[in-house]
Amino acid sequence: MELERAAGVAGLKHIVNAATDPATHHALLNTAYYAFASIPLGLGSALVLAVLLNRRQGMRGSTLARTLIFLPSVMSGVAVAFMWAWTFDPNLGIVNRALKVIGIDGPGWFTDPLWAMPTLILLNLWGIGGTC
């Protein structure tokens, strides 16, 4: 009985410590930012794609368009992670190379605090063709 009570007190202390920790508040704000940005953007994009594909049904190229939109759903998660890591690499990535051609120094997409969350929200759109 005494051991259970001590465990309960220790558990309560952990909850109080987590609730008062500034890192917890920062994590909750980041989660809210991600959710409130990516969910409407993902749903809206999926709806627009669905309407466009439905209107183009039977037209030339509609089967190819559907295949390309569904393709991210059947790709390996590891392969996709490597692809995005390479694409947004600050030194070797294709995005920063393209920006350099037009005279812009690209950021560290995953390391810059200003750009990390928008990049993750953008990457969330990768799978909109396969949501069921």
Rounded Cα gap, residues 107 and 114, in angstroms = 9
- CA 46, chain centre distance (Å): 15
Kindly list the distances between the CA atom of residue 21 and the CA atoms of 16, 17, 28, in Å, as whole numbers in the listed order.
9, 6, 11
Q: How many domains does the chain have?
A: 1
> For 17-63, what is each residue's pLDDT tens digit?
888 999 999 999 999 999 999 999 999 988 888 888 887 777 787 78
Does this model's pTM top 0.85? My answer is: no
Kindly provide the residue ranges of all beta strands, DSSP E only, lying in the chain, ordered along the sequence. Answer: none
| Domain limits for position 39 | 2-130
90: CATH: 1.10.3720.10
